[in-house]
Amino acid sequence: MTVRTSGAALLAALPVIAAIAAGPAGTAAATTATTAAPATRQGPVRAAPAGVTTAAIGSCYGSGSRWWCSNASHAPVYCEPDDQSYQQCGWLDSTTSWFQCKTQTDVWGEGPYWGGATPVWLYTQGDETYPGHEGRHAWGWVNQSWISSSTDRVRWCG
């Protein structure tokens, strides 16, 4: 018997495989991040989606310019990672998305993971374009606090 699987189905299964490889909760690979929040947080406050866990779900996987990570659905994609106006240019519908690289800025974004705030941003193309930003084609930055995978392996931009 031959079983055929589409590329999309295989990509959708990879986060599950990575989570299994990471081991049970409590091991070094499944610990939570301990990034301290700044005295005053900047940026929009986002509630965690229902059922969200704050433990790392494996690591991002890939190489070169494509790193696949588990993320919360409806994660906002911001036009610039260091713009405190928080102009949203898109969002991620999927819960597994690819990112090209990451950067760290003085601007802290907030989301449901990693203690809720982090200055690390990952560059990607969102699944949907925010109205008024069609020319960007949803390209922008997602704050690491929306990504449940460990982003340690994702390359730094520049």
2 domain residue, yes or no: no
- 3-state secondary structure (DSSP) of residue 117: strand
Q: Which neighbouring-strand residues pair with 101?
A: 123
Q: How many domains does the chain have?
A: 1
84 domain residue, yes or no: yes
Going by pLDDT thresholds of 50, 70 and 90, the confidence category of residue 114 is confident
1 domain residue, yes or no: no
Task: Compute the mean pLDDT over every residue in the chain, rounded to the nearest whole number.
Answer: 72
Instruction: Report, as an integer, the average pLDDT of 35-54.
Output: 38
32 domain residue, yes or no: yes
Spatial contact of 148 and 113, defined as CB atoms under 8 Å apart: yes
- Domain of 99 in residue numbering reads as 7-47+55-146
Q: pLDDT tens digits, residue range 139-157?
A: 999 999 999 999 999 999 9
